[in-house]
Amino acid sequence: MRKVVITGMGVISPIGNNINTFWEQLVNGTCGIDFIQSIPVENLPVKIAAEVKNFHPEEYEISNAFTRRNDLFSIYALAAAYQAMKDSQLEIEPEKLGVYIGSGVGGIKTFVKEAIKMHDEGVQWISPLFIPTMIANIAAGNVAITHHAEGPCLPVVTACATSTHAIGEAYRCIKHGYADAIIAGGTEAAIEPLTIGGFANCKALTKSDNPLAASLPFDRRRAGFVLGEGSGILILEEYERAKARGAKIYAEVCGYGNTCDAYHVTAPKPDGSAASKAMKLALQEAQWNDNDLLYINAHGTGTPLNDAAETAAIKMALGEEKARKALISSSKSMTGHTLGAAGAMELIVSALTLYYSMVTPTIGWQEPDEQCDLDYVPNKARKADVSIAISNSLGFGGHNGCVALRKI
């Protein structure tokens, strides 16, 4: 089997629109959550979110014509992929390059706009670009077109586990020889009244009116997640090829687990057993051993059920003693929950944790919870020579994903 490494990364996020800024803000514990600016909120039950700020598509060589004709989730993906390809300096035959970019929601802004247009003006005024702008696979299609990627293209849709699964499947694709490099990750731009109302009405969102005390993973006061947006993209490449061309290597992708709770459409399985199995699969494939210092980028949404179930899953996967030695943090305390983009952003965090030997914090943590009693690296980044990292994602529908990285 072939070895797979990360040779490039790009991000559009609530705390920075390039990798250096994103990492600096994470290490400093900067909160990207604030009162919503992009849409009217007067009639909404939730008025805070983690929005992307100061985003200018032209900085990523995205034309005005593309921006006018495409949904924001596609634009974010193109911007993050541009950064990742530039970072990687990858040159490759088109048929050996793939694209695995997913979205949990897809072009919801386009969907809402065209639905209103049909209601107000009639079906004849629906844009002919409505379908190819709205469908969830089109971000991958647009990135493939832009970078002439003629290899396998597999947009994954597994709710909040989307981009973790996309990257895991891309890893397997390269490992087994179906491609030499893949542009992989996720993208989301779902801050809309319709989605906020939907998530709020199913009791998933916090109704806190304090942006700095809203996303509270593993804290006893946690009361729901904060909706975020953005895109995370990684370049996965076959190791020998990357080594031969002198590529910068952030980390090795070395394990992947994919399971389903088969329990409930929104609630996680309380005992964490299926999520635990995904972690075990990833760690076994990564050949995790007693000499490794493990970092876990938790799914850590800040919902009461998720954080308790994930803590139980970590203990079940590692055993109580080793679980207490692991360093765990939730990036969502700073970025909010970016849905289908979350896993990719958090794998970027995991890769940089290995690269810089620095664990980013879970900010806002104040009150311990007896159900969440592990080391969540509260409030302040911690220097640590981490040798292996896993990133967890748990999505509506019971989808569990875990990808393992190892320091090179």
DSSP state of 219: S
For 95, the token pair is 């048929």
Among residues 31, 160, 254, 372, the one annotated as catalytic is 160
Q: Are 5 and 245 in contact (CB under 8 A)?
A: no
Residue among 375, 298, 391, 345 nearest 77 (CA): 345
Is 264 considered catalytic here?
no
C-alpha to C-alpha distance for 15 and 33, rounded to whole angstroms: 9
Phi first, then psi, for residue 291 (nearest 5°) are -85, -10
Is 299 considered catalytic here?
yes
CA distances to 89, 231, 234, 235, 267 from 170, rounded to whole Å, are 19, 17, 10, 10, 28
Phi first, then psi, for residue 295 (nearest 5°) are -110, 135
Phi first, then psi, for residue 120 (nearest 5°) are -85, -35
Buried b (16+ CB within 10 A) or exposed e, 38-69: eeebeeeebebbbbbeebebeebebeeeeeee
Among residues 147, 165, 337, 399, the one annotated as catalytic is 337
Is 160 considered catalytic here?
yes
Among residues 31, 153, 254, 299, the one annotated as catalytic is 299
Catalytic residues: 160, 299, 337
